Structure 1
Amino acid sequence: MADYDLAIIGGGLNGVSLARDAVGRGLRVILVEQGDLGSAASSASSRLVHGDLASLERRRVLRVRAALAERDVWLRIAPHLVRPIRFAIPAHAEERPTWQLRTGLWLYDRLAARKRLPAATTLDVTHHPIGDALKRPIGTAFAYSDCVVDDSRLVVLTALDAAERGAAIRTGARCVRADRDRIWRLAIIDRGHRRIVTSRALANATGAWSVSTAETVLRQPPPRVVARQISQIVVPRLFDVDAVYVFQNHDGRLIFAQPYERDFTLIGTVAHEFKGDPAVVAMPAPDVAYLCRAANRYFRSDIQPVDVVRTVSGANMMLRAAGGERLETVVSLEASRTQAPLLTMCGGDVTTARRRAEQAINRLATFYPMSPRWTAGAPLPGGDFDWNRFDDLVDDVRERWRFLSEAEARRLAGAYGTRLADVLGDASSRAELGRAFGSQLTEAEVRYLMTKEWARFPDDVLWRRTKLGLTLGAAEQEALAAFMAAAARDQSTMPPHEVDGDSPARAVELQAIGG
């Protein structure tokens, strides 16, 4: 008998979504990730949960309807991570006519199955705060509703939910060989030890590594895909309103400028084919200049490449079909009477990730019995409250932990939701949270992230589980690194039965193995 029903290689959003769905249906699941969860393209998304107006313009109406339905699902199951916000499209004399924008947004609203969010409206931006940051003579904008999400925390909390339901989540573990017969036999390097795992089915969810994994690890024909890089820039805050600007660019693209960690603005995206090592995806200078020029067509504040404080880039795979047509998502299942199933899944956006995984796991139903689909109705950890009560949650947080500022309470509530007590405990003062690394990051939070959310290195904390790397100075980051190294050594001296196992509380490694 195999050790697991499904082994998953890759800990991005696709991989953890597969793990969550499958384990909740009664399958025995293991996921192996050579680095950190969501450390590649899953942390470089547009951070939008939306129906995608560009798809509507291309007349992909059914796709837009499905994405808007998923937007409602995310609001229901992850209200701490997914936040409704108004989007504003300034009308530009050189771009789409106003009647086209108005008609498109009218249809966009009606494709939403549930009218949870405010409908589209026309704004006179000369008398509206949204217009304060815009150049003149822009006088009209069209506002509509969609959502933004903390993409990297979405990955981690999806994995956490899978782990709490029984999935084995192994980070810093690399699958170096997979032999296929009636079952899969995987050789995994985990914490310096080689172990063999057997599974009835295997999922290749390695994203930009899908081809190399198929060729070198699985020794199977690679999927017909092409790598695509997406990139964004982070600049100091350009506007004060809580809204996302949607700019029509001269080449027909839509550029989004959104609030980012209170004091910054995230502008993107630009996408093109990618060639190279997906572990090192750098944003080329022409892409940075392109986004600056696109923003400068609309914003009063002029931004130049020198103003960019951080670039965010990632590479993923998309299908290259016959005739050169490219589709965003690859979900394929290959099996026979004599060979165990191989599921390949890569590409796709954040909005449809849950549904994508659900449909992929449905394909395995012919191989072994499983429970019905369930993920659309079960909240992620900390998300067991209604989305329109987030402000009430923030008030509750400030009432219970009175030493927190408004900004701290919002950040923590947005990251941990109703599980914040697991992080802060019964602390009645800031001192009880231990050492402080900067103005917001405390020893209590770092310990929680290390023992419960697989954080091993400073970058795991500073750029994925939080975005506090934007504000922590070099000395504070060095202090954090020293603290985490010492905490990892303390964990490694504990008896094996106290730190081993498949839960998130397993031992914290000092360095990733092979990856």
Structure 2
Amino acid sequence: MPTETTQQRCDLLIVGGGVNGAGIARDAAGRGLSVILCEKDDLASHTSSASSKLIHGGLRYLEHYEFSLVRKALIERENLMRIAPNLIAPIRFVMPHVKGLRPYYLLRAGLFLYDHLARRELLPATKSIRFSEHESGVCLQSHLQRGFEYADGWVDDARLVVLNALDAKERGAQILTHTICDKIQPCQGRWKAQLSQFIGTDRAQTLEIDAGMIVNATGAWAAQFQSQLDVIGSRKKLRLIKGSHIIVKRLFTHQHAYLFQHPDGRIVFAIPYESEFTLIGTTDFEYQGDLNHLTISAQEVEYLCELCNHYFQQQISAADVVHSYSGVRPLVDDGRTDAQSITRDYRLEFLQDPAPALHVFGGKITTYRRLAEEAVNQIAAHLNCQALAWTKNACLPGGDIVSALPSNQNVFGFSQFVDQCRQQYHCLPAELVNRMARAYGTRIHRVLADCKDVASMGEQVVPGLYACELAYLLDTEFAHSAQDILWRRTKLGLHLPVTAVEIVDAWIKRRQA
């Protein structure tokens, strides 16, 4: 394949297409800055799609006196629910009290703080429950008699990243996936970068970028990339903490999730997932291996299964795991010895020499928008951009369920929106419409434009996935492969045989021919 070389100039080159990079691109583009974002793989293909799928304040961080972080996250929890009501939904958690672990009064005090550290408009308050009288108790072991029910938010993490990138693109940013930053060097107070864009294993294009500023949003690779930019400085020390999750056939039929305590002090979630499954995680272990090829270890599987077996009547083992995933959280080393107590807060480091660069260290998905806003405030000041922060007051694509502006009505009106979609597309399978309304919000009408019945959706390439949706994902949402589509943008991979990847990839290849 011949390689084309092009030259471009921009205000901001962002390296890294996870939630922080995409959030910064969106904010900066919306303030009128010229932005290029490059990501060596697919958007959200690493840590940002390997989360517990929660938008939460971080209840356990209260034990480490991180009140400021919890308050910040609780404020953002409601902000994000308003800007992306289709992607982020309220979820009720049940936390059993276990004799010998955290005292009942301590749990109650922590949950009281959790309810009151920030203004709460969208979620109900905590309440005490007895499992003999609550539907969540049916599947629990008899030694568990009482606990608490509290509220947080569930999120489709990978789609959150994609929609931030899509909004950035629609505001003028260039989003370049499968694009590696090969070389970078300062030049007269700016940066000269060489980007290589790949299609499969072939180098398709080389871009020479002249950027006024670099943002290092490479996540687990942040310290490594920092050393390329700041040859005279010292590399930031990050603690790479591996978190793994397992997915099993559903262990309960109700819609509550669980927070379980482990005797070692960690906590593990068990969350209803994709209708037919239970998502269980996460682990917290130091990691020093290959960042590009993460897999769950047998030790982690055993750890998660044993903890669930202490709580659920239905016992599970490694044989019951239908899927697993792992990610590495790049946490700023604050000197604490155990992985679970390291702060989940982020740190932004602006360096002027040898050319302007902003390094993003740490963070969590719940506070990504706030991180991006603070980052672009610093960037805008340096680039003499007078535009103000705006992302709290603008819905993500498809989030304008009731109102064009973020509002509580967009959250409370989502169920009615789904009902309206089912009526409008009554000739289509209800399960399909439900899934697409949640995934695309009001942009479902773009995906299903001119689709009056199943036949008008085009070929059903694999069960539940039609040509019209595939075309939308390829043309609009930066997808390139079956993995991008089945595991990050739709989660249909969980419901399909492994041969689905080959079938979808073959369809994409025929379309591109």
List alignment gaps of at least 5 residues for structure 1: 490-515
Q: Distance in 2 between matches of 1:279 and 1:36?
A: 12
Is contact 2:461–2:507 with CA below 8 Å preserved after alignment?
no
Q: Which residue among 377, 397, 401 is the counterpart of 1:381? A: 397
Partner of 2:371: 356
Residue 238 of structure 1 deviates from its aligned partner by 0.5
Q: Distance in 2 between matches of 1:306 and 1:267?
A: 15
Q: TM-score, normalised by structure 2?
A: 0.91
Deviations 1:479-511 (A, max 9, x none): 21110111233xxxxxxxxxxxxxxxxxxxxxx
Is contact 1:2–1:183 with CA below 8 Å preserved after alignment?
no
Partner of 2:404: none
Aligned length: 488
CA distance 1:147–1:220, change in 2 (3 Å): farther
Partner of 1:276: 289
Q: Secondary structure at the match of 1:486?
A: helix
Deviations 1:403-427 (A, max 9, x none): 3333322211110001101111121
CA RMSD of aligned residues (A): 1.8
CA distance 1:227–1:212, change in 2 (3 Å): same
Is contact 2:462–2:504 with CA below 8 Å preserved after alignment?
no
Q: Distance in 2 between matches of 1:93 and 1:331?
A: 38
Partner of 1:184: 191
1:193 aligned to 2:209? no
Q: Distance in 1 between matches of 2:24 and 2:39?
A: 13
Moved more, 419-428 or 149-158: 419-428
Is contact 1:185–1:199 with CA below 8 Å preserved after alignment?
yes
Residue 322 of structure 1 deviates from its aligned partner by 5.7
CA distance 1:328–1:487, change in 2 (3 Å): same
Q: Distance in 1 between matches of 2:487 and 2:375?
A: 30
Deviations 1:368-417 (A, max 9, x none): 22211111111000001211111111101111111333332221111000
Deviations 1:293-336 (A, max 9, x none): 11111111101011011111011322124686944355333433
CA distance 1:240–1:403, change in 2 (3 Å): same
Is contact 1:214–1:220 with CA below 8 Å preserved after alignment?
no
1:236 aligned to 2:249? yes
Percent identical pairs in the alignment equals 40
Is contact 1:423–1:444 with CA below 8 Å preserved after alignment?
yes
Partner of 1:43: 49
Q: Structure 2: which amino acid aligns with 1:366?
A: A
Partner of 2:129: 123
1:265 aligned to 2:278? yes
Is contact 2:422–2:434 with CA below 8 Å preserved after alignment?
no
CA distance 1:466–1:239, change in 2 (3 Å): same
Q: TM-score, normalised by structure 1?
A: 0.91
Q: Which residue among 370, 391, 394 is the counterpart of 2:415? A: 391
Q: Structure 1: which amino acid aligns with 2:413?
A: R
Q: Distance in 1 between matches of 2:354 and 2:369?
A: 28
Deviations 1:174-196 (A, max 9, x none): 11001113110111112422221
Deviations 1:68-105 (A, max 9, x none): 10001011100000000111101222322222222221
Is contact 2:348–2:361 with CA below 8 Å preserved after alignment?
no
1:422 aligned to 2:422? no
Q: Distance in 2 between matches of 1:309 and 1:175?
A: 36
Residue 240 of structure 1 deviates from its aligned partner by 0.8
Residue 212 of structure 1 deviates from its aligned partner by 3.0
Q: How does 1:143-182 map to 2 (within 5 A)?
A: 143-181=149-187, 182=189
Q: Structure 1: which amino acid aligns with 2:195?
A: I
Partner of 1:507: none
1:206 aligned to 2:218? yes
Is contact 2:481–2:505 with CA below 8 Å preserved after alignment?
yes
Q: Structure 2: which amino acid aligns with 1:146?
A: D
Is contact 2:230–2:354 with CA below 8 Å preserved after alignment?
no
Is contact 1:236–1:264 with CA below 8 Å preserved after alignment?
yes
Q: Which residue among 399, 403, 418 is the counterpart of 2:427? A: 403
Q: Structure 1: which amino acid aligns with 2:396?
A: L
1:251 aligned to 2:264? yes
Q: Distance in 1 between matches of 2:128 and 2:223?
A: 47
CA distance 1:123–1:326, change in 2 (3 Å): closer
Q: Distance in 2 between matches of 1:121 and 1:318?
A: 33
Q: Distance in 1 between matches of 2:512 and 2:143?
A: 57
Q: Structure 2: which amino acid aligns with 1:143?
A: E
Is contact 2:69–2:345 with CA below 8 Å preserved after alignment?
no
Deviations 1:91-121 (A, max 9, x none): 2223222222222212211113133211111
CA distance 1:449–1:231, change in 2 (3 Å): same
List alignment gaps of at least 5 residues for structure 2: 1-6, 199-203, 402-409
Is contact 2:38–2:181 with CA below 8 Å preserved after alignment?
yes
